[in-house]
Amino acid sequence: MTNATGMALRQVRKSYGATNVVHGIDLDVAAGEFVVFVGPSGCGKSTLLRMIAGLEEVTDGEISIGGRDVTDLDPSQRGIAMVFQSYALYPHMSVRDNLGFGLKMANTPKAEIETRVTAAAKILKIEPLLERRPGQLSGGQRQRVAIGRAIVRKPDVFLFDEPLSNLDAELRVSMRIEIARLHKELGNTMIYVTHDQTEAMTLADKIVVLRDGRIEQVGTPREVYEHPDNIFVAGFIGSPKMNFLAGVAANDGFDLAGKTFPLGYSLAEPGTPVTVGIRPEHIEVGPSGAATFSVEVDFSEYLGGTQYLYATLADGQSLVIEHRENTEILGDGSITVSCDPGRIEVFSATGRRMRR
């Protein structure tokens, strides 16, 4: 039923009394895969992770790790280790004791605890900190210790619950790279929960987009970005957000702002209302692409490498354009922009992506 050292969820549900928060999740995680659960707050991603960890009871369904049903096992017997958002280091113990606590609980011989703690400290470069207390460490150092405590347990699966949320922006980037390096070095299966799509995109082998306790899409970062299954995923992944414009299906394309755009295939019965999704970075200034239209630029933001143009279409719908060329576009003017029809996503009224 399950793969050798990976993980599988089968119809996993969670409810608090009459309130269902996780509705039948099915998911396979291959051995050594880095899976990121991403979604807005309250989507159930943390609850799902805590169910995998065994900190939250599973109302219904089955969780297996490495082919072993762990649904009702104690957290310590699941072969997992978890890194908490708050680090959850034991404040009254030295870093060394924090790292070795799990092994001590398992009655591991002192000498082996020592070697494994030293090895983990070496991987994370926290050897000079071993005798300190968590209170004497900076946020980034605490995060390393928390990760070290997970490594020492030699788990089958690492679980990360928004581990970088409490760090400042600069540290977040360097720890993100650190975690990616760690995954490459250790090769373990890792499950990572975040609401930050940059972390999701950069770290994941596989992104699981969740909303309201349901999986909206599972795929590689590229799949999720380039072929979102629905309007929610399309809007959630990508920054700035994808432009959603109200259009109408036409023969071989769609009508938008009084103009027909050919796609080369029919979406639906002509006249059916559709939502047209175009990413800001896929719109080019100038009439080079196949689908051209003119917009009125209201104002712009200059960010150094790029410029965001806030514009309106002829029918008043607003649109954001990411302009990367080094020529400055001044506000208050009409310009022609174009885009590759292949990069345009069209969604039905129910939010599903429409393809030929």
Instruction: Tell me the number of residues near another protein by CB under 8 A.
Output: 26
3-state secondary structure 180-195: HHHHHHHCCEEEEEEC
- Residue 136 binding another protein, by CB under 8 A: yes
Dist CA 345 CA 355 (whole Å) = 8
Least gap, CB of 18 to another protein (angstroms): 16
C-beta closer to another protein: residue 75 or 351:
75
Largest pairwise CA distance in the chain: 76
Q: Which of 120, 105, 183, 127 is nearest to 152 (CA)?
A: 120
Dist CA 256 CA 260 (whole Å) = 6
- Residue 81 binding another protein, by CB under 8 A: yes
Task: Map the footprint of another protein across residues 49-78, applying CB under 8 A.
Answer: 53-55, 74-77
If DSSP codes are grouped into helix, strand and coil, which group holds residue 169?
Answer: helix
Task: Map the footprint of another protein across residues 243-272, applying CB under 8 A.
Answer: none
Least gap, CB of 54 to another protein (angstroms): 8
Instruction: Among 11, 86, 251, 318, indicate the residue that binds another protein (CB under 8 A).
Output: 86
- Residue 84 binding another protein, by CB under 8 A: yes
Instruction: Among 101, 244, 308, 310, indicate the residue that binds another protein (CB under 8 A).
Output: 101
Contact 164, 127 (CB under 8 A): no
Dist CA 187 CA 182 (whole Å) = 8
- Residue 105 binding another protein, by CB under 8 A: yes
Contacts of 114 (CB under 8 A, 6+ apart): 100
C-beta closer to another protein: residue 145 or 313:
145
Instruction: Among 10, 14, 96, 153, indicate the residue that binds another protein (CB under 8 A).
Output: 153
Residues engaged in binding another protein (CB under 8 A)? 53-55, 74-77, 80-82, 84, 86, 88-92, 101-102, 105-106, 133, 135-136, 149, 153
